Structure 1
């Protein structure tokens, strides 16, 4: 049995993920662009579940940049410590809150470039915010997406920048925001780092029915 070509794989992935995940709720609890921005920042090297356990106490301290810039960094750090990297993240939350107030009247900017200038906000974080808070087409690449894109033969996986370019080229722009969450959900449920090696989950087997050896994936 020959492996499907890339166009067939893309079509199959879109249809299967839509069937599995017709709705894509944002995994991080938030109520507005600011709380989403902070939650995504906290999720670096931390699970969404852990972030969602921590943020209620953080919002009790402050849930907007005007109030957050007044909170001592040590108090922020004490609350977010379970998320890891607390010294760096707490300082970033304090600093970006002040910048939002002083430069953007307390509003979270909608432009990727402006978001990426904020402390602690990288390309992926900015992409999540513009996609999920403002509906701007973006394709934030996390470890799940980077791994699955390689297993499905959609990218050579040299780095997340290349993976983002390849996926944006393969998939329709209007699908990006939903698809990025669908791939994450699938990666967590079916095609985990340890549970699938490129030969186990349904989509890996469909994309590469003749693959006998584990697919080595390059880390992000």
Structure 2
């Protein structure tokens, strides 16, 4: 099949339509459910690390039923937090990190988490992906959050040629129109789970096959 020159606007339009009836990416679903604060988004993203959305979503909700603010989380013990998030990966480690983050926000920022990338990444357990995703979803700040789906799909398309999510972030920041920076994670997570899967992607069902270079080594 002869491929068309990559048209980012057309591709995003097609992908947007394709995922409209699919389960939403976890952080965006939580936002629509009312968990809109930067703190909630950051903690939810920490919970989701190396955990499937199907697990992290109910875990986040269970924690937030007990406490949704730094003050509330700090009043829980790490053991209590661990019990609430027990179904995610590394619950003991994450519980301690969540408790520590809440206390640091209380001590250093009077309980109000600044919408600042450097501040978020100063917390143990928070990397570029979580900082960018939380700021993008909660604050609408223009950041690109690259997870395994965004990395794999943009390389499979041939839109970027990188070896790591970190390098994909840099490449996309230099190339992707800023209007898509937040949305790319929102779209490509469900797209990568259900259509452009890691193994045996459903290319015959793909709405952007004409633009995709089908580089399958990512």
Question: Is the CA contact (8 Å cut-off) linking 1:137 and 1:177 kept in structure 2?
Answer: yes
Task: Report the counterpart of residue 207 of structure 1 in structure 2.
Answer: 211
Equivalent position SS for 1:27: helix
**Which ranges of structure 2 fall in alignment gaps of 5 or more residues?**
none
Deviations 1:134-188 (A, max 9, x none): 0100110011111101110012221112111222222211221123211222112
Question: Is the CA contact (8 Å cut-off) linking 1:27 and 1:48 kept in structure 2?
Answer: no
State the distance in 2 between where 1:81 and 1:110 align.
28
State the distance in 1 between where 2:61 and 2:165 align.
31
Deviations 1:187-206 (A, max 9, x none): 12211112418x54525631
**Structure with greater contact order relative to length (CA < 8 Å, sep ≥ 6):** 2
Task: Report the counterpart of residue 27 of structure 1 in structure 2.
Answer: 29
Indicate which of 101, 113, 119 corresponds to 1:114: 119
Task: Report the counterpart of residue 3 of structure 2 in structure 1.
Answer: 3
Closer/same/farther in 2, CA of residues 189 and 65 from structure 1, 3 Å limit: same
Number of residue equivalences:
211
**Which ranges of structure 1 fall in alignment gaps of 5 or more residues?**
none
**Greater CA drift, 79-88 or 61-70:** 61-70
Question: Is the CA contact (8 Å cut-off) linking 2:15 and 2:208 kept in structure 1?
Answer: no
Equivalent position SS for 2:181: helix
Please report how far the alpha carbon of residue 81 of structure 1 lies from its aligned counterpart in structure 2 after TM superposition.
1.3
TM-score of the superposition, structure 1-length normalised?
Answer: 0.86
Matched, 1:16 2:14: yes
Task: Report the counterpart of residue 217 of structure 2 in structure 1.
Answer: 216
Closer/same/farther in 2, CA of residues 178 and 4 from structure 1, 3 Å limit: same
Closer/same/farther in 2, CA of residues 208 and 136 from structure 1, 3 Å limit: closer
Please report how far the alpha carbon of residue 126 of structure 1 lies from its aligned counterpart in structure 2 after TM superposition.
0.3
Runs of 4 or more, structure 1, over 3 Å off, are: 18-25
Alignment of 1:5-154 (within 5 A): 5=5, 8-21=6-19, 26-28=28-30, 30-154=35-159
Matched, 1:166 2:171: yes
Question: Is the CA contact (8 Å cut-off) linking 1:191 and 1:201 kept in structure 2?
Answer: no
State the distance in 1 between where 2:62 and 2:189 align.
27
Closer/same/farther in 2, CA of residues 97 and 208 from structure 1, 3 Å limit: closer
